Structures are given as structure tokens and as C-alpha cells.
Amino acid sequence: MTQTTKPPQTEGAVAVERRNWFATLDWRRYVIYIGFVVIFIFFAILLGDQGFLSPNNLLNILRQTATITVIAVAMTYVIACAEIDLSVGSVAGLASVVTAMAVAHWGVVVGVIAGLLVGAVVGSINGGLVAALGIPSFLVTLGMLGIAFGMAQWITDSAPQPILSYAYNLAFGSGNMGPFPGLVVWMAIFVAVGAVVLAKTRFGRQVLATGGNRMAAEFTGINTKRIKFEVLLISGVVAAFAGMLYAGRLQSGRFQWGQGDELSAIAAVILGGTSLFGGSGSVIGTLFGALLIGLINNGLILAGLDASQQQVIRGAIIILAVALARKK
Amino acid sequence: MTQVTDAVAPVAETDVPAVEMRDISKAFDSNVVLTGVDFEVTQGEVHALAGGNGAGKSTLMKILQGVYTKDSGVIRINGQEVNFTSIQDAKAAGIGMVFQEFSLVPTLTVAQNIYLTTEPLTGKVLIQVREAREKAREVFRQMEVEVDPGARIADLGTAYWQLTEIAKAMAQDARVLIMDEPSASLAKHEADQLFELVGRLKAQGISIIYISHRMEEVYRIADRITILRDGKNLLTERLTDITPDQIVEGIVGQQIEGMAYQERDTSAEPEVLLEADGLTAGARVQNVSFTLHRGEIIGLAGLMGSGRTELARCLFGIDKLESGEIRIHGQRVDVSDPRQAIKARLALIPEDRRAQGLVLEHSVRDNLLLPLLKKIERGLLIDDGKGKELAASLIKRFAVKVANPARPVRLLSGGNQQKVVIAKWLGTDPEVLIMDEPTAGVDIGTKTEILTMIRDLAHEGKAVIVISSEYAELLAVSDRVLILRDGAVQQELARKDITDEESLQHAVQGV
């Protein structure tokens, strides 16, 4: 028995209640936003002379973060559902080469469809194995990471697949939409849709309930197998889309695109406050998690650190942020 | 309520009490939980501790275990004043706890659990496996129970888990054992064994603080009872000097009539709502048939393992039927999963509210709305305003005590959590409500409320199936009782044909 029953409320008690509410306001939930602002200001002061605050540099950060953010939005659903998807990086790579090859042979429309199809197939296999056979997603997607990566290398003989379609490259990452880089617009679309669906739709609530307590969700009439299948399917398709953005931005498909992105995406999701054990998730948090990683990368480059030093500092900051955000 | 009149062993009043808590006060922020509470247990005494929801008994016990620190007051163990700042302090002073939710590691053996962190070591590094088993065997021998120290916990039944918990406390030289609802998860004969064990521990001079809502066992094993109300002492009495009605009144704060059967006006031509015909699934549900009418309450009685819960799971589509059919309003319905069952307007209040009923980390509101999301959708999106209103109306209708519905449901007391589960399901407006142990682990006040709720629902024209291990409760609400044994319906009794708890007990035991 826990002590939560309240004495009958009087006027005074209401005031006390309000003060309690403020005291119990869980600042840990906002660590990512606080951290983002603190590090931003830190770099702004320290690296102001190196052009950190120039609009170009800031847009650059957004552009470099965009694909990771797109992947991480879907990863938020997977992790909130108490699963994991390690195959996203290599799915992005596979989708980039399949799209590039299909565009070269059959044109842009077929190329786009083929790319998305790669994600749908991989996502269905992941989701099907996890939902129907109950194999842990960690194992299924770890295997799929190797399969997709190997496949992308195999069908291209490790050669880059150039994309010469101006229209494709314009739409998927190289061009601008109005004043904004296309990549950033795509990122904004994914974040907006992802945030609304998770917080404001039946599907979103069912994902959170399934991740929070699968048995209770099942007893409540939620088809938890279908939910698990769907989040992994979404993750696969979205990862493929991210691969297509890589292809558009770099005007070619290559099996290396997206390599290692699964770890950045997971880090962004966890930094954003989504519980690694499922049941809670915030897409906006994920966006800031990804931006924070991008910010750190950018700042460290401007500060003149080399790649190895960047990795060390980035790792330390991620651990620190997650430690601060953990529950009591 | 039957009063068991076993002679109570005399308590040596002159001895130094094993535990003496004087004038204990505790507040969490501005929420005062205990004010000047006195509590004392003499050596070799079984002292029952009772009180309604939020009366402060868990807080008092957590202070004694060193989980919380007191704001003021004095604690003396065997006359020595102590100031516990951690659970280790309390353990070192001989306070042991048998947890309501077991705190064992299922993948380890009995002996490994007993000596977890206190393993006998060779050279401070290596665990002496055989030594640990021998020592565990010795502890069980002293308790006079048969448990294999080498067995894996996961392979044993819950009764053995509890024995292991007790052995663990004994192995750490506990002189005072706190038992919180120890019989809740036990079948009758297992509970009997537990009571005998409590008697033996008592004879060895071990003091036991016994928290229970079950009046019968309190009378059977306890010497004295202390009742708390609203964080204050209400009374401490020898059980020979107090009647069950006085205890219930003390806990609830008023005379309750909830536990008495109330003759209900069942209409002359009751409409058949649900028919179960030859339901069979696995070993635990064997050819079960029954009819349920509108406005009727059926009780399912049976020992643990008799198939009560399994029958409920079949009716709600969680377990698949191998044969037989379910008809609602004469129409055959296929309930092969819970979604179909919900569509057929069935609802199941599951046995284990924490594992099956609630997403503990989610808010009270989100839990309430989970089966009702379709109702609060506007187009593709959820209308949060509508959700808040709907949740607030459910909270009000079922008198859930919650200060802020946006806080996690895990912060609520057991009784209020159960109300949330019930409210969540009644929000779906079911016609047939299946309730599996609806009052397990809730205080008497809430229990009465829930029983009244069940009667009201039947009165509104719903049909209710109640599963309960407490016969008093079954008899309080059921119009008919089905007795299950080995997965089959053994007997069907009309309420008027059951004279009292004892006769139902006999029917269930089959003697």
C-alpha cells in the first residue's frame, strides 16, 4: 500500500497541492532541452569567431542532422514499443543503391518505389519474425544489419551507383524548397507527422501501452503483435527513405551510406528522453537529441579537434546527458 | 465472519518489548502520514496491524525496516534505542521482512536466494556452495518444513517462495518478522501450513507483525491487534477482547453492511444473456456449461488450480477454446481474442492488476482511456479535451481517490488502482463483466465499495461473473455459485441453498 490518498481538500490544501506540483515538476524530462541550450550558448561564445553562429553554419548543422533525425523519428516508435532496430543503417545503404540502380534503368518513379519497397520488405521480415515468432528484435535486426549491408555490397560489386536524374536529386536532398534546403524540409515533415501520430492518435497510444506493459495492453484488447510488426515495418520504410535522401544529397547510391547510423539514431532517441525499456517516447525530444549530437559534431570540428578526439568527447557528453536525465 | 476461539498464549507484559515504537510521526512534504503513533510487539507475540487505505501501516512498517526515517519519536529494539538510516541497519537489528511481492531471484536456487549477499565464503572470494545448502537445510529443519535448498525458485510454487523468504529472514537472525498479507497468494492448505509455521516461530520467541485484511486468520494466529486510522492509533486490543465487528468498524470507521448478502429483486422472467456450452481448453477447463441472465451475479468458487481463472481467460478470448461455444443473446460469438470479446461486450477485470490490468508507468488518465480511444477520436486524431472529460467522469463515478489524473497510476494505493481497472472497463459499457479476484489486496473500505459496485451493476442490468478465494465475499454478492474442481463444474448452488461460509467451504473441498 502506498501513501497517496489525500486528506479532504480545503482551500489551503489546494494551494499546497499547487506548490507540490511545482516541486515535483520533473526537470529531468527537460534535460535534453536544457543541455541543448547550454551547449549551444557555450559554442556560441567559444566559437563565435570561427563562424559558429553564421546562418550557413547553422543550416549546415540541420542539413547534416537531417537523415539521422528521420531515422530516429521511426526509432522512437520502435524503442517506445520496447523493441530495437539495429538494421536501419544498412537498410538505408541498401535502399540507396537499389534506388540508384532502378533510377538508372527505369526512371525516377520506379526508383522511388523500389527504394521504399526495400524498406517495406526488410521491415516486414523484421516485424514478422519479432511479432509472429517472438524472436527478440535485437537478434533479428542484428542479423538483418549484416544481410542488408552484404546485399548492398554484393549487388553493386562495391561500386558507387551514380544518379544522373536531376529531378531525383532535386527532390531528395540536393535542392531547396523555397528558402530551405530540401533535406531540412523532409526532416521537418517527418518530425511533425511523427510527433502528432505518437501523441495524438490511437496508434501512438497503443504503441506506448504495448511498450509500457505488453500483457496489460493485450488484456485491454490491443493487438500487440500487430503493433510490434507495424513499428518495425515503419522503421524499415523510414530508414529506406533516409537512404534515398543520402542518395539524393550525394547524387549516388553506395553501400556505405548510413553505416553506423543505427547507433546515432538510438543515441538521439535515448537523449530525447524515450525510455530504453519502452512505454514512453517523445519525437520532439528525439529531434533535439539528434540536433544536440549534430551540434557537438559541428562545434568540435570548428574547434579544430580531429575525428578521434571528437568521438571521445561526443561519447562522454552522451553518457553525461543520459545520466542526468535518468530517473531517481 | 467466524470467530476462531483458539486459546491465546499469554503475553508476558513485564518483558522488554522486542519492538517499541513511541510517538512516531512522519510527513512527506506537507502530507502528514503518521502523527504520534505508538506500536509495540513483545517477544514471541503475533501482533496484527490493520487499518484502511492510507491509515499509515505501510509507512510505519517502512520506518521499522529502515526504508523511511521517522521525523520524530523513539524506536527501541529490546530496550535499546535505535536510529535506522538504511535497510541494512534494520536487518542488523534483527528486523526481517516477508515481502508481499516476492523479492527472490527466480533463476537462482533456494539456497542461493537465502544467502544472497551473505554467502559463506572461502578466503573471502569463493562461495561454499555445499556449506550454503547445508545451512539452508538446517534453517528449514528448524522451521520444520520440507524444502529442497537446491531447487530453482522458478520451478517451485508460490508457497515455497514464501517459505524461502521466511528462511532468508531467519538465516539473517531476524527476531522480528514483518509479514504483509502473507496468505494472499496461497491456497487454503498452504495457508494452514503457514499458520502452523507462524505458531512454531512464535514458540521460538520470534515476534511477528502480521498485516492482513483477512479477519479469520487474524483471529486464528494473532495475540493482539493494533488498528491505525488516518495516521493515528485507534486501538490496541487483545483479540480475546474484541469482536470482528469492532475490528471492521475500527478499520472502516463505521459499521458496514457490505459483507452481508442482500436479497436482490431478480425479475420474474430473466433474460438469458450469455450461454456457455461445453467449453473445453487444456486441462483446466473441461466441458464447462452455464447460463448467465441479465442482472445476475454468478460466483465461481474453487481451490487454486481448479480452473477459475482459466475459465475467465477463455471467456475473454485470451486462451483459445478447443471446443464448445459461447452464445450471447442466443447468437454464437467467436471470442478467439480479447478484441472480439470486447466487441461482444464482454469485459475482464484480470487477476493481477499490476501485470495485466495497468500500465503502471502511465498516468491514471491514459490507463482509463486505453480501451476507450475510439470514443475520444475526432477524425484521425485524439481529442485530449474530450479524453480529460471522459476520464474525469469515470474517476468521479467510481470514486477513485486521485489528486492529479496526469500522475502515474503506480503511485495510487492498491484499492484505488483496482478502481481504475474497474472504471477503465466499465467505460466500455460491457453487458457481461468478469471479475477475477476483484478485491485482492485492497483494504476493507474499498472492498465494501467494490462489492456495492458489483450489486449496482447487476441492478443496472449487467451480468457479472465474480471469481474469489474469499467465500464471505462470494456469498455477499452471488445469486448463484458454481463450484469448479479440476476444470469442471462440480456443483451449482443457488445462494439460498448455501447457509454459510462453512457449507460453501465444504462444497468446494468436496467433503
Residues 6+ apart with CB under 8 A from B407: B363, B364
B202 SS3 class: helix
Are B373 and B395 part of one and the same domain? Answer: yes
- For chain A, domains (ranges, CATH) are 30-325 (1.10.3470)
Q: Is the pLDDT confidence value at A327 over 70?
A: no
For the stretch A318-325, contacts whose Cβ atoms lie closer than 8 Å and that sit 24 or more positions apart, written own/partner, are A318/A267, A318/A271, A318/A293, A321/A31, A321/A32, A321/A35, A321/A271, A321/A292, A322/A270, A322/A271, A324/A28, A324/A31, A324/A35, A325/A28, A325/A29, A325/A31, A325/A32, A325/A271, A325/A273
Select from A34, A52, A88 the least CA-distant residue to A240. Answer: A88
Are B65 and B24 part of one and the same domain? Answer: yes
Q: Which residues of A touch B28 (CB under 8 A)?
A: 3
Q: Is the pLDDT confidence value at A167 over 60?
A: yes
CB contact (8 A) between residue B318 and residue A219: yes
Are B189 and B283 part of one and the same domain? Answer: no
Confidence of residue A225 (pLDDT cuts 50, 70, 90): very high
Domain span including residue B25: 19-94+175-252
Q: Which residues of B touch A218 (CB under 8 A)?
A: 318, 338
Q: Which residues of B touch A223 (CB under 8 A)?
A: 337, 339
Are B218 and B364 part of one and the same domain? Answer: no
Question: B381 pairs with which residues across the strands?
Answer: B378
Confidence of residue A1 (pLDDT cuts 50, 70, 90): very low
The predicted model gives A7-11 an average pLDDT of 42
**Whether B27 contacts B241, CB under 8 Å:** no
pLDDT of residue B97: 86
User: Rounded to an integer, what distance in angstroms lies between the CA atom of residue B399 and that of residue B397?
Assistant: 6
- The domain boundary, picked from B252, B281, B314, lies at B252
pLDDT of residue B265: 62
Are B466 and B446 part of one and the same domain? Answer: yes
A-to-B residue pairs, Cβ atoms closer than 8 angstroms: 112
Q: Cα–Cα distances in Å, from A62 out to A52, A69, A183, A257, B324?
A: 13, 9, 8, 18, 62
Are B86 and B28 part of one and the same domain? Answer: yes
Pick from B53, B338, B414: which is nearest to A219 by CB?
B338
- The domain boundary, picked from B252, B285, B301, lies at B252
State pLDDT tens for residues A86-138. 999 999 999 999 999 999 999 999 999 999 999 999 999 999 999 999 999 99
pLDDT of residue B244: 80
Q: Decide if B144 is inside a domain.
A: no
Q: Of A53-67, A277-291, A307-321, B30-44, where does mean pLDDT reach its minimum?
A: A307-321
pLDDT of residue B99: 72
Are B340 and B436 part of one and the same domain? Answer: yes
Q: Of A3, A201, A202, A225, which to mutate for an interface test with B (greatest number of B Cβ within 10 Å)?
A: A3
Q: Which residues of A touch B359 (CB under 8 A)?
A: 208-209, 212-213, 216-217, 279
Cβ atoms < 10 Å from Cβ of A263: 11
Q: Decide if B139 is inside a domain.
A: no
- The domain boundary, picked from B413, B429, B445, lies at B429
Cβ atoms < 10 Å from Cβ of A82: 21
Are B485 and B409 part of one and the same domain? Answer: no
User: Rounded to an integer, what distance in angstroms lies between the CA atom of residue A255 and that of residue A84?
Assistant: 22
CB contact (8 A) between residue B369 and residue A200: no
User: Rounded to an integer, what distance in angstroms lies between the CA atom of residue B38 and that of residue B63?
Assistant: 13
The domain total for chain B is 3
H/E element, B252: helix B244-252
Select from B423, B438, B420 the least CA-distant residue to B474. Answer: B438
- Block residue for cell numbers 538508372: A104
| Structure-block grid coordinates of residue B194 | 503457514
Chain B CB within 8 Å of residue A281 CB:
no
Helices (H), chain A: 11-24, 31-46, 55-80, 88-106, 108-133, 137-156, 166-169, 182-200, 202-212, 214-219, 224-250, 261-271, 283-302, 307-325
Q: Decide if B166 is inside a domain.
A: no
User: Mean pLDDT of successive 10-residue segments in chain B (511 residues)?
Assistant: 44 72 86 89 93 79 91 92 90 84 82 84 76 89 87 83 88 90 75 90 92 82 92 90 81 59 66 92 88 92 81 92 92 91 94 92 94 91 94 92 89 89 93 92 82 91 90 87 89 84 74 58
Residues 6+ apart with CB under 8 A from B449: B258, B399, B419
User: Rounded to an integer, what distance in angstroms lies between the CA atom of residue B7 and that of residue A45?
Assistant: 82
Q: Of B30, B229, B313, which to mutate for an interface test with A (greatest number of A Cβ within 10 Å)?
A: B30
Are B303 and B329 part of one and the same domain? Answer: yes
**Whether A102 contacts A114, CB under 8 Å:** yes
**Whether B358 contacts B420, CB under 8 Å:** yes
Q: Decide if B284 is inside a domain.
A: yes
Are B434 and B511 part of one and the same domain? Answer: yes
Residues 6+ apart with CB under 8 A from A134: none
Side by side, the strands of the sheet bearing B31-41 are: B31-41, B19-28, B72-77, B80-82
Pairing of strands B19-28, B72-77: antiparallel
Are B88 and B182 part of one and the same domain? Answer: yes
Question: A122 pairs with which residues across the strands?
Answer: none
Beta strands in B29-71 (DSSP E): 31-41, 46-51
Cβ atoms < 10 Å from Cβ of B422: 25
User: Rounded to an integer, what distance in angstroms lies between the CA atom of residue A283 and that of residue A289?
Assistant: 9
- pTM exceeding 0.90: no
Are B32 and B76 part of one and the same domain? Answer: yes
Question: Residue B199 is part of a domain; what is its CATH number?
Answer: 3.40.50.300
**Whether B36 contacts B23, CB under 8 Å:** yes
Amino acid identity, residue B211?
I
CA distance B345 to chain A (A): 12
- The three-state DSSP-derived secondary structure of B67-128 is CCCCCEEEEEECCEEECCCCHHHHHHCCEEEECCCCCCCCCCEHHHHHCCCCCCEECCCEEC
User: Rounded to an integer, what distance in angstroms lies between the CA atom of residue A207 and that of residue A44?
Assistant: 39
User: Rounded to an integer, what distance in angstroms lies between the CA atom of residue B91 and that of residue B117?
Assistant: 13
Q: Decide if B485 is inside a domain.
A: yes
CA distance A1 to chain B (A): 5
**Whether B484 contacts B306, CB under 8 Å:** yes
CB contact (8 A) between residue A215 and residue B341: no
CB contact (8 A) between residue A216 and residue B357: yes
Confidence of residue A246 (pLDDT cuts 50, 70, 90): very high
Q: Cα–Cα distances in Å, from B460 out to B124, B137, B191, B432, B457?
A: 68, 57, 37, 12, 5
Q: Which residues of A touch B356 (CB under 8 A)?
A: 215-216, 219
Q: Decide if B140 is inside a domain.
A: no
